[in-house]
Amino acid sequence: MYVQIETERLKIRPISINDGEFMLKLMNTEGWLQFIGDRNVQNAHDAQLYVQKILANPRFFYSVFELKTNQQAIGIVSFLEREQQKHPDIGFAILPEFAAKGYTFEACRSYLDFIISLDKYENIIGITSAANQPSMALLTKLGLRYSQSQPEKDIILSTYSLK
């Protein structure tokens, strides 16, 4: 679901083809590589192709959140309707220098509230590595509850559920 939302400190907007450089930086942070995985985005061209792929998928929605004060992009909220899952999942990532300041919660809370207000989805889930304590804490703070864990490749994924 693409929407524009403003919070006290942030603007949340749909990702655009102009976000390639930001995505290149974000996708090569230690946290992204460790917990989301290497998407082999090594340069501006790769990043632009990655964003184009997102924009071409009618079931994937990435929104960039940026600081109101200077319009600097600092993170993303994703809402993915994956074929292999019964319910859509919310995800997030932030540049490390802006982590632990409440920005991700602020963006996700506003975005999730909007999605819930649509009354379109029976449930919303969040999936994270069982080793990603900050993500598990944020999903819990957003009101999602742990529902299950499952192995995938060489990691354990934990699923959290709104209902």
Give the chain's domains with CATH numbers.
5-161 (3.40.630.30)
Residue 94 or residue 36, greater confidence: 94
For 86-108, what is the mean pLDDT?
A: 97
Residue 152 or residue 30, greater confidence: 30
3-state secondary structure 41-94: CCCHHHHHHHHHHHHHCCCEEEEEEEECCCCCEEEEEEEECCCCCCCCEEEEEE
pLDDT of 153 reads 80
pLDDT of 52 reads 97
3-state secondary structure 83-137: CCCCCCEEEEEECHHHCCCCHHHHHHHHHHHHHHHCCCCCCCEEEEECCCHHHHH
Pairing of strands 125-129, 155-161: antiparallel
66 pairs with which residues across the strands?
Answer: 11, 73
Condensed to tens digits (0 to 9), the pLDDT of residues 11-27 reads 999 999 999 999 999 99
pLDDT of 160 reads 97
pLDDT of 155 reads 87
146 pairs with which residues across the strands?
Answer: 160
Q: Using the predicted structure, report yes or no on whether residue 142 has a pLDDT greater than 80.
A: yes
Distance, CA of 13 to CA of 16 (rounded, Å) = 9
Task: State the pLDDT confidence band at 124, using cuts at 50, 70 and 90.
Answer: very high
Does this model's pTM top 0.75?
yes
The SS3 call for residue 150 is strand
